[in-house]
Amino acid sequence: MRILRYDGPGVVRLAFHGELDLATTDLVDTYVSAALAGEDVRRLVLDVAGLTFCDSAGIDALLAARAGAASRDVAFQVVGARGIVRRSMAATGVLALLTAA
């Protein structure tokens, strides 16, 4: 469901693929927690371009990831939202919050 990549000093990118729903949110939590456990992480980017679906549980997981990053003073951004994923974020009012640089 994810690919971990380092985009430069202090920047971790997690790329998610497939569906983000109640059945997969625990994986998001696990990967985000592992990424934030790094000592030198200053920015966490969640790349959702590969997602084909995201329900309200998925939105909650993204918001929890943002909160976890904020609690560690790590910059956070969701990138690549398109199609139904982007529409889900827009409909729930979190698109700007999650995608702001």
pLDDT 10s digits, 24-60: 999 999 999 999 998 889 999 999 999 999 999 999 9
Total structural domains within the chain: 1
pLDDT of the residue at 57: 97
The parent domain of residue 78 ranges over: 2-99
CATH number, residue 86: 3.30.750.24
Q: Please, which pLDDT band fits residue 101 given cuts at 50, 70 and 90?
A: confident
pTM, 2 dp = 0.91
Per-residue confidence (pLDDT) for residue 3, from 0 to 100: 61
- CA dist 10 and 27 (Å) reads 22
